[in-house]
C-alpha cells in the first residue's frame, strides 16, 4: 500500500487530497495518514497543507523496494524485491529465500552489510547508503559446472548499466570484477545450490561502489562518484542493471553466450595481459589468450602449453619488454 | 540427559536404583523419574520395581540420536545427530543446518519422510520405521566439479556396512544406487552449496530399505529384510555405515580415491555392461568401460568414440549376442 500511495503522489500534478487517495485506494483517511507518516519515516519529504492535501517534495536516497520497482517494466527481474536497512550479507538472505522457493528474478538488497563478502569468504566493504549491495535469485536449467558464464554475463549487464547511466566505461577483470582506471568499482559473487547434475538455484551477488567516498574504500578501489565527481542516483543505476540483466540472461539461456564473450573481449582488463593466476589446484602464469566458450580463461604458459582456469585470483603482471 | 540415563541402564548389571542415578548424574530423584517417563514414551521398556529400582527390558526400534551414538566411537562422523520422528526430507533439514554452520559429520535422520526424494526431485518411498533415511553434512575443501567421487565413496561405505552387518554383498550401479540381485536396495543423493571455486558444504543423503516389506516397495526395489528373511537392527547397520564413511572419506581427502575406484570396479553393476545413459546434454549408448579418476563413467560408443558422463540416468541393456 505504501507503494501505491507513493505512486499516487508521484503521478500527481501538484497536491493530492487525502479524500481522493482514500476513495481511490479504498482505505480510510486515517489509514492514508498512517501510510504518509510511515513514508516520512522512510525519508520521503511529503508536504501536508490543510484544504489542499499532500505533495511529494523529495525522495529519500534509499534502495527501497517500491522505488526500485517504480517504472521498472521488466518481465521477472526485480519483480519481487526484499529491501533491508541492514543485513549481515544479502547472499545469505537470498539463499534462505531461494530455499523457501522464491521465484526467479527475486532481488534482495540492503542499505548496508555488516558482513558483506566477496569470493572465498573475503570481506566486501559495504558502508551504509553508499553502494548497491544486492543478490539476485536465478533458476537456470544448467549443470553446476556451467556457472562461469553467469558471472561474466552479470559483469556485462552491470558494465552496460553503468555506461548507460553515468557514461563511464568499465572493463571486466576475469572472472568477477569490474574496474575503472585500474581500480575496482564492482565485484560479483556467484553461489549455487545444486545436485551433481542439476542446479536448484543460483544466487548472484553484486557489490557496486556508487557514492562511496575514497576514505571508505581500499586504495585499489574506486566508486562512480569518485570517477564522475557527481552524486549518483543509485535507483537509476540499479534499475538499468535489472533491465540489462534480464536481456543478457535471456541471451545466455538461448545459448547466445558468444554475445557475452564478445563484450568481455572488447572490454577486458585481462585478455592479452601477462597474468599469474592462483586457484585450489595451484598456480599458472603466462599470457591470457582468450575466454573460452565455457567462461574459462585460456593462458599460454612460457613453455607454450595452454592451460584453462575456471576461476581463481588473477594478478596482472607488468609486460616483459 | 536422556542419553546418560539410557547409558546408565545399559551398563547396569540388573537393577539400578533411582538414588544411584540421581547421585551420579546430580539431578533430583523426581527428575530421574521424569526422564524415565520420557524414555518410555520413546518406546523403551523400563521395568520399575520398588526397593530394587529400574531395569531396561528392551530398546525401541527407532533411529534415536542416543542409540545411534551409543558406542559409536567415530572421530566426527555422527558425533552430532538430529533425529526426527518425521520430516518432509532429511535433505532440506540438513541444508538448513548446514547454512547455520553445523559441523562436518552432522547427521540428520528421520523415522519417516513425507517427501523423501532421489536425484532430480524424484520421490523416494520412505515408509515409517522401516528404512534408514538420513543426510550427512560434509565440508570438504573441493571444487563444485569434484562431487562425483563423494557419491561413489558413500556407495562404497554403505556397501561395506551392509556386508559387515548382514553379509549381503551389493553392487554399485553408477552413479548413485546400490543393488542386490538386480534390485535397488539403497540410493544416494549428493547436494552442495558452493561458490564457483569453492564448496561451502555438501549434504549426502542415503535412503536404505532395511525392514521394508515388498508391498511397500516398487517392483524394482528390495530391502535387507527381504534378502535375509530376517528383521535387521537399523542402528547396527547405521553405526557401521558412519564408521565406514569416516574411513572412506578420510581416504578421499588424502587423495586416495583409487581405493574407492577399486572397490567400485570389483562390485559394479555397470562396468562392462551395454548401457544407455541420459543426462541434460543428451543420450549416449555403448559399452561402459570404466569409471575415470574424477568419478565419471567412460562409455565406448558403437562408432568407437569414447565419451565421459559425470552423472545421469543409466539403463542397462541386454548384451547383443
pLDDT at B321: 46
Tell me if A196 and B311 make a contact (CB, 8 A cut-off). yes
Three-state secondary structure call for residue B29: helix
pLDDT at B11: 86
Q: What dihedral do alpha carbons A256, A258, A262, A267 form, nearest 10°?
A: 80
| CATH number of the CATH domain containing B34 | 1.10.10.10
> Which among B226, B248, B266 is the end of a domain?
B266
Owner of C-alpha cell 573481449:
A265
Task: Give pLDDT tens digits for A149-181.
Answer: 999 999 999 999 999 999 999 999 999 999 999
pLDDT at A1: 81
* Cα separation of the two ends of chain A: 64
User: How close, in Å, is residue B192 to chain A by CA atoms?
Assistant: 5
Residue B120: name the closest of B183, B200, B176 by CA.
B176
* Same-domain status, A144 and A221: yes
Main-chain phi, psi angles of A7, to 5 degrees:
-60, -45
| Mean model confidence pLDDT for chain B | 93
Say which residue, A242 or A145, is predicted with more confidence: A242
Tell me if B193 and A95 make a contact (CB, 8 A cut-off). yes
- Assess whether the previous peptide bond of A175 is cis (omega < 30° from 0): yes
Cβ atoms < 10 Å from Cβ of B46: 16
User: How close, in Å, is residue A162 to chain B by CA atoms?
Assistant: 25
Three-state secondary structure call for residue B203: strand
Cβ(A273)–Cβ(A288) below 8 Å: yes
* Same-domain status, A224 and A119: yes
* Same-domain status, B225 and B291: no
Q: Which of B148, B193, B281 sits opposite A196 (nearest CB)?
A: B148
| CATH number of the CATH domain containing A303 | 2.30.30.100
**B311 lies within 8 A of chain A by CB:** yes
* Same-domain status, A87 and A36: no
**B253 lies within 8 A of chain A by CB:** no
Chain A residues touching residue B145 (CB < 8 angstroms)? 144-145, 310
Residue A122: name the closest of A189, A182, A186 by CA.
A189
* Same-domain status, B73 and B207: yes
**A195, β-bridge pairs:** A198, B191
User: What's the average model confidence in pLDDT over B94-98?
Assistant: 96
Residue A202: name the closest of A98, A307, A56, A76 by CA.
A98
Q: DSSP labels for A266-309?
A: HTBSSTTSEEEEEETTEEEEEEEEEE-TTSPEEEE-TTS-EEEE
Q: Which of B197, B281, B310 sits opposite A280 (nearest CB)?
A: B197
Tell me if B119 and A197 make a contact (CB, 8 A cut-off). yes
* Same-domain status, A44 and A175: no
| CATH number of the CATH domain containing A98 | 3.30.930.10
* CA atoms within 13 Å, Cβ hemisphere of B34: 7
Quick one: pLDDT band at residue A8, thresholds 50, 70, 90?
confident
Three-state secondary structure call for residue A190: strand
Residues in chain A: 321
Chain A residues touching residue B148 (CB < 8 angstroms)? 196
Chain B residues touching residue A277 (CB < 8 angstroms)? none
Task: Give pLDDT tens digits for B133-185.
Answer: 999 999 999 988 889 999 999 999 999 999 999 999 999 999 999 999 999 99
User: How close, in Å, is residue B143 to chain A by CA atoms?
Assistant: 8
Cβ(B222)–Cβ(B184) below 8 Å: yes
Chain B residues touching residue A196 (CB < 8 angstroms)? 119, 147-148, 151, 175, 190, 310-311
Statement: residue B128 has pLDDT above 60: yes
Q: Give the gyration radius of chain A's Cα atoms.
A: 22
Cβ(B127)–Cβ(B207) below 8 Å: no
* Same-domain status, B187 and B279: no
C-alpha–C-alpha distance, residues A196 and B120, integer Å = 9
The residue in chain A having the minimum alpha-carbon distance to the alpha carbon of residue B204 is: A195
Chain B residues touching residue A195 (CB < 8 angstroms)? 119-120, 189-191
Range of the domain at B44: 2-58
* Same-domain status, B9 and B158: no
**What residues contact B15, with CB distance under 8 A and at least 6 apart?**
B49, B52, B53, B54, B55
* Same-domain status, A137 and A210: yes
Say which residue, B317 or B291, is predicted with more confidence: B291
Chain A residues touching residue B92 (CB < 8 angstroms)? 99
Q: Residues of chain A with pLDDT > 70: what percent?
A: 99
* Same-domain status, A147 and A10: no
C-alpha–C-alpha distance, residues B55 and A8, integer Å = 75
Number of compact structural domains in chain A: 3
pLDDT at A321: 47
Task: Give pLDDT tens digits for A306-315.
Answer: 999 988 999 9
* Same-domain status, B235 and B114: yes
Q: Is B202 exposed, middle or buried (0-12, 13-18, 19+ CB in 10 A)?
A: buried
* Same-domain status, A90 and A231: yes
User: What's the average model confidence in pLDDT over A262-281?
Assistant: 93
Amino acid at each position: 500500500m505504501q507503494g501505491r500511495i507513493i505512486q499516487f503522489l508521484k503521478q500527481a500534478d501538484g497536491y493530492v487530497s487525502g479524500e481522493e487517495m482514500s476513495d481511490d485506494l479504498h482505505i480510510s483517511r486515517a489509514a492514508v495518514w498512517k501510510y504518509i507518516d510511515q513514508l516520512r519515516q522512510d525519508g520521503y519529504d511529503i508536504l501536508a497543507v490543510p484544504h489542499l492535501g499532500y505533495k511529494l517534495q523529495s525522495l529519500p536516497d534509499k534502495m527501497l523496494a517500491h522505488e526500485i520497482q517504480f517504472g521498472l517494466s521488466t518481465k521477472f527481474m526485480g519483480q519481487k524485491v526484499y529491501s533491508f536497512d541492514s543485513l549481515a550479507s544479502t547472499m545469505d538472505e537470498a539463499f534462505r529465500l531461494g530455499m523457501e522457493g522464491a521465484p526467479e528474478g527475486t532481488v534482495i538488497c540492503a542499505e548496508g552489510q555488516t558482513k558483506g563478502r566477496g569470493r572465498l569468504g573475503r570481506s566486501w566493504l559495504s558502508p551504509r547508503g553508499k553502494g548497491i549491495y544486492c543478490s539476485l535469485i536465478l533458476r537456470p536449467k544448467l549443470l553446476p559446472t556451467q556457472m562461469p558464464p553467469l558471472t561474466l554475463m552479470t559483469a556485462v549487464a552491470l558494465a552496460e548499466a553503468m555506461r548507460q547511466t553515468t557514461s563511464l566505461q568499465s572493463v571486466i577483470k576475469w572472472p568477477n570484477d569490474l574496474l575503472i582506471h585500474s581500480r575496482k568499482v564492482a565485484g560479483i559473487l556467484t553461489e549455487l545450490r545444486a545436485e551433481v547434475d542439476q542446479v536448484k538455484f543460483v544466487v548472484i551477488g553484486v557489490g557496486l561502489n556508487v557514492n562511496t567516498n575514497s576514505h571508505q574504500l581500499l586504495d585499489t578501489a574506486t566508486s562512480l562518484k569518485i570517477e564522475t565527481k557527481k552524486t549518483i542516483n543509485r535507483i537509476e543505476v540499479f534499475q538499468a542493471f535489472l533491465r540489462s540483466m534480464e536481456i543478457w540472461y535471456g541471451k545466455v539461456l538461448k545459448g547466445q553466450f558468444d554475445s557475452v564473450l564478445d563484450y568481455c573481449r572488447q572490454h577486458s582488463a585481462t585478455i592479452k595481459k601477462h597474468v599469474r593466476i592462483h586457484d585450489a589446484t595451484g598456480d599458472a602464469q603466462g599470457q591470457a589468450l582468450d575466454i573460452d566458450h565455457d567462461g574459462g580463461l585460456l593462458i599460454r604458459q612460457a613453455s607454450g602449453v595452454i592451460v584453462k582456469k575456471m576461476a581463481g585470483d588473477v594478478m596482472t603482471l607488468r609486460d616483459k619488454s
